[in-house]
């Protein structure tokens, strides 16, 4: 399995892998083993969050792996009930302690909670200016939230992590982030398996002799979108990583973009506006 993968340069010059591992809903031994196997396979981006309650396990796996810290890209996020200026600073310290790390590569606001999001972002800016994080970002921020943030922010998010897939193709948000030099990152890119038997997707997979999941991940990468598919299954981890040896032609990229159903797996962030 090759370990060389595509990297992208964030707005501040920090390099981030286009493909990573999401660890939502992984706990204890499963979380440790999944990360260790992912790192062995070649993954270098690991995405966790305080909300996931597995930061300790992720840190243990990172430290057990023997891989130089500067070769890894570790993301975590401030939980909704930890938001606010002082609470966010304390939450960050707690996350570092749980992971037994000196820094994280990307620290994010997990959800745009109405009463606290402005203060939370100010705390992230402080962490960034102090050099305790390499980059700061947001998750589940649609255009209205990004517009609001831009009014007062002294540092704009380097990354915006949202639910994004061919079946939730948020083209307007993608174009907005491109214009603002915000890297879009997709969670649940594989729709938790709900569309793997879609005949349209299967036709493309057959054409390239790849699996439906590999087609979706490659499609996202060719659009310049980072993806963090979740799996603890060793074979699935290998499958998801085996996407660097082919390219989808532009006609098929456009065809996949037409799959949109506005299908959401998680809550619509607009409910928080």
Q: Which residues are catalytic?
A: 52
- Name the token pair of 234: 């060793």
Please provide the DSSP assignment of 162-210 as one string. Answer: EE-BTTB--HHHHHHHHHTT-EEEEESTTGGGTTTT-HHHHHHHHHHT-
Distance of CA 12 to the CA centre of its chain: 18
Residue indicated by tokens 């204890």: 28
Tokens of 82: 């930890």
Q: Are strands 226-227 and 159-163 parallel, antiparallel or unpaired?
A: unpaired
For 36, other C-beta atoms within 10 Å of its C-beta total 16
Q: Phi and psi dihedrals of 142, rounded to 5?
A: -90, 180
Give the H or E element holding residue 41.
Answer: helix 28-41
| Number of residues in the chain | 273
Give the C-alpha separation, 36 to 59, whole Å.
Answer: 11
Residue 134: CA count within 13 A, CB half-sphere: 20
Q: Are 205 and 211 in contact (CB under 8 A)?
A: yes
CA–CA separation, 166 vs 190, rounded Å?
9
The label of the residue with tokens 């000196």 reads 102
């Amino acid at each position: 399995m090759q370990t060389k993968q595509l990297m992208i340069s964030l707005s501040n010059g920090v390099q981030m892998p286009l493909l990573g591992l999401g660890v939502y809903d992984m706990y204890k031994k499963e979380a440790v083993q999944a990360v260790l196997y992912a790192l062995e396979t070649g993954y270098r981006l690991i995405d966790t969050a305080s909300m996931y309650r597995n930061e300790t396990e992720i840190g243990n796996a990172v430290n057990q792996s023997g891989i130089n810290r500067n070769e890894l890209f570790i993301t975590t996020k401030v939980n909704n009930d930890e938001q606010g200026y002082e609470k966010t600073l304390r939450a960050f310290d707690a996350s570092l302690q749980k992971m037994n790390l000196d820094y994280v590569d990307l620290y994010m606001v997990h959800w745009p909670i109405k009463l606290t999001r402005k203060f939370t972002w100010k705390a992230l800016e402080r962490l960034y200016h102090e050099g305790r994080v390499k980059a700061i970002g947001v998750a589940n921020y649609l255009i209205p939230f990004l517009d609001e943030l831009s009014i007062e922010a002294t540092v704009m998010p380097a990354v915006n992590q949202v639910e994004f897939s061919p079946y939730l193709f948020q083209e307007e948000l993608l174009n907005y982030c491109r214009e603002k030099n915000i890297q879009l990152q997709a969670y649940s890119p594989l729709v938790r398996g709900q569309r793997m038997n879609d005949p349209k997707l299967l036709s493309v997979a057959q054409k390239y002799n790849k699996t439906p999941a590999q087609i979706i991940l490659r499609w996202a990468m060719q659009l310049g979108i980072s993806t963090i598919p979740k799996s603890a299954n060793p074979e699935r981890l290998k499958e998801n990583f085996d996407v660097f040896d082919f390219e989808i032609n532009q006609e098929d990229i456009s065809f996949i973009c037409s799959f949109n159903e506005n299908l959401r797996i998680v809550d619509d962030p607009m409910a928080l506006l």
